[in-house]
């Protein structure tokens, strides 16, 4: 009898599937009305997030699709919440390929192996991988941006605030420290931005050893304010908690990823932000025009302020009056390629609002342990260092929990 019942369970399940199948026979396929070009995306979190990394990419992809004349509600296929597990990524790619996607974006570093392997299996599909380092010469590229440039600009805002408050201690809540070039270069650029305005500024880094943990982000910000007396809290982590803490404790802050002024109205100055649509539109246009020239047209993509890929959010009313002029000056120099952050030339800003001036001085790029990386007047370090091997802090940076 027991067996009979269990077989019935199965039968009942089967009957329902048949029912549902019958239901679908009358419906039309969605391919009919959609255009021929389809975009696939693999997300580490959900497209329905309202902030954070996946949100920024999803926003970028949908905006870019509108710009190139695609309909995100019909031409976009998403596999979300895909962990960094090769098998799951491969299955996601098979799904997207099966649905006819012409280009597949993978936004997380750990999708590396699977995208590399599947790019060979599906030569007709373009594979585009954020933050990775692999590519081939036909249909697989990687993309990322010079977010350190935007962090330098946010550092200028923080520097002016610390000058005005007469407090040289600036805090920085960071997911990781020198382990990853991405976090390390961000900290250094931010510190150099601070020091361009306030040469005595000290950046105190608290490393939380995870990409996202709201409780730890919160505790780190509290510690930096209460113990180290920091007057501005910058961050490289996923949530707005450090800014919320800064708001509660009546100090100031620079967020990340999105304009966090709405979370911290009395504290937030300006945040380094990504405008991923700048890349996604470029990639989609190239893939729509001619997939076979994608790698020569777009290739491995690493752009910054010049392409509009990174920027600082609109300056809030908490910023000091000189901030905007100084940021505009620095931004202009980076956009026209006249100067970059990690070179042997330092910027310094002076003058009151309305007459802010920038001066360039040759000065070596030195680590906080005294080692010289770039000689005075020398050219910027290579992109490969900024993206992959930078593992030192510059002068003025101290990690407080090492």
Partner 1 sequence: MRRYHLVRRADSQLKRTLIYYAAGILISLAIGAVILACLEINPFEYYGRMFTIGLIGNRYGYKSIEGLLKIFVPLLITSLALSLSFKMRFWNIGGEGEFLIGAICASCIAFNSTGMPNFVTVILMCIAAMLSSGIIGIAIAALKVKFNTNETLMTLMINYIMLYVIRYLGDTKAPWNFFLRADSERPIFGSFPESAVMKGIPLGPFTLLWSVLISIILTVIVYVYLKYTKQGYEISVVGDSSATAKYAGMGVGKIVLRTMFISSAMIGLAAALTVSAAGTISDTITNDVGWTGIIVAWLSKLSVPAVFVTAVLISILQYGCQAAATQYPAIDINYADLLQGIILFSVLVADFAANFKIVRKEDAKNA
Positions that interact with partner 1 (CB under 8 A): 1-17, 20-21, 23-27, 29-31, 46-48, 72-73, 76-81, 83-88, 90-92, 94-100, 109-110, 112-113, 117, 133, 180-181, 388-389
Q: Which is nearer to partner 1, 153 or 386 (CB)?
A: 386
Residue 119 Cβ, how far from partner 1 at the closest point, in Å? 14
Looking at the DSSP bridge assignments, the partners of residue 303 are 145
Q: Which is nearer to partner 1, 36 or 317 (CB)?
A: 36
Q: Which is nearer to partner 1, 172 or 180 (CB)?
A: 180
Contact 243, 264 (CB under 8 A): yes
Residue 400 Cβ, how far from partner 1 at the closest point, in Å? 23
Written as six digits, the tokens of 393 are 């802090």
Q: Which is nearer to partner 1, 61 or 153 (CB)?
A: 61
Residue 175 Cβ, how far from partner 1 at the closest point, in Å? 12
Half-sphere exposure of 354 (CA within 13 A, CB side): 0
Residue 240 Cβ, how far from partner 1 at the closest point, in Å? 22
Contact 123, 139 (CB under 8 A): yes
Residue 281 Cβ, how far from partner 1 at the closest point, in Å? 18
Instruction: Say how far residue 175 (Cα) sits from the centre of its chain.
Output: 13
Q: Which is nearer to partner 1, 83 or 199 (CB)?
A: 83
Contact 192, 198 (CB under 8 A): no
Residue 38 Cβ, how far from partner 1 at the closest point, in Å? 11
Residue 220 Cβ, how far from partner 1 at the closest point, in Å? 20
Instruction: Say how far residue 179 (Cα) sits from the centre of its chain.
Output: 17
Residue 87 Cβ, how far from partner 1 at the closest point, in Å? 4
Exposed/middle/buried for residue 323 (C-beta within 10 Å: 0-12, 13-18, 19+): buried
Alpha-carbon distance 169 to 278, whole Å?
35
Q: Which is nearer to partner 1, 43 or 172 (CB)?
A: 43
Q: Which is nearer to partner 1, 45 or 323 (CB)?
A: 45
Alpha-carbon distance 115 to 121, whole Å?
10
Alpha-carbon distance 335 to 338, whole Å?
8
Q: Where are the beta strands (DSSP E) in 160-297?
A: 169-174, 202-207, 232-236, 252-254, 272-274
Q: Which is nearer to partner 1, 22 or 352 (CB)?
A: 22
Exposed/middle/buried for residue 186 (C-beta within 10 Å: 0-12, 13-18, 19+): buried
Residue 89 Cβ, how far from partner 1 at the closest point, in Å? 10
Q: Mapping DSSP to helix (H, G, I), strand (E, B) and coil, where does residue 350 land?
A: strand
Checking 354-357 for CB contacts under 8 A at 24+ apart, the result is 354/325, 356/322, 356/325, 356/326, 356/329
Written as six digits, the tokens of 171 are 């805090």
Q: Mapping DSSP to helix (H, G, I), strand (E, B) and coil, where does residue 29 land?
A: coil
Q: Which is nearer to partner 1, 48 or 317 (CB)?
A: 48
């Amino acid at each position: 009898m027991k067996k009979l019942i269990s077989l019935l369970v199965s039968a009942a399940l089967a009957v329902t599937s048949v029912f549902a199948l019958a239901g679908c026979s009358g419906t039309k396929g969605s391919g009919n009305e959609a255009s021929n070009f389809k975009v696939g995306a693999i997300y580490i979190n959900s497209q329905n997030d309202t902030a954070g990394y996946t949100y920024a990419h999803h926003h970028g992809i949908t905006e870019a699709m509108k710009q190139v004349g695609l309909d995100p509600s019909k031409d976009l296929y998403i596999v979300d919440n895909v962990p960094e597990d090769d098998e799951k990524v491969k299955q996601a790619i098979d799904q997207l390929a099966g649905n006819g996607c012409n280009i597949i974006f993978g936004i997380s570093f750990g999708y590396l192996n699977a995208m590399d392997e599947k790019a060979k299996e599906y030569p007709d599909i373009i594979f585009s991988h954020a933050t990775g380092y692999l590519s081939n010469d036909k249909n697989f590229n990687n993309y990322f941006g010079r977010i350190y440039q935007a962090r330098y600009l946010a550092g200028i805002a923080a520097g002016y605030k610390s000058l005005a408050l007469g407090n040289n201690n600036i805090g920085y809540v960071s997911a990781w420290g020198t382990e990853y070039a991405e976090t390390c270069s961000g900290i250094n650029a931010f510190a150099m931005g601070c020091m361009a305005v306030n040469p005595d500024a000290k950046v105190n880094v608290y490393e939380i050893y995870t990409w996202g943990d709201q409780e730890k982000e919160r505790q780190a910000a509290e510690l930096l304010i209460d113990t180290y007396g920091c007057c501005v809290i910058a961050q490289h982590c996923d949530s707005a908690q450090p800014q919320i803490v800064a708001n509660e404790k009546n100090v100031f802050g620079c967020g990340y990823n999105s304009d966090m002024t709405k979370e911290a109205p009395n504290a937030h100055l300006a945040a380094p932000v990504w405008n991923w649509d700048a890349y996604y539109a470029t990639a989609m246009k190239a893939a729509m025009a001619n997939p076979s020239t994608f790698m020569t047209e777009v290739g491995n993509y690493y752009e910054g302020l010049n392409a509009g890929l990174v920027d600082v959010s609109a300056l809030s009313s908490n910023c000091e009056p000189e901030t905007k002029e100084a940021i505009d000056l620095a931004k202009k120099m980076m956009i026209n390629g006249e100067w970059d952050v990690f070179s042997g030339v330092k910027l310094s800003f002076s003058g009151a609002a309305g007459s802010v001036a920038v001066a360039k001085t040759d000065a070596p790029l030195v680590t906080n342990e005294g080692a010289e990386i770039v000689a005075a007047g020398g050219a910027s370090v290579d992109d490969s260092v900024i993206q992959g091997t930078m593992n030192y802090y510059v002068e003025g940076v101290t990690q407080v929990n090492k």
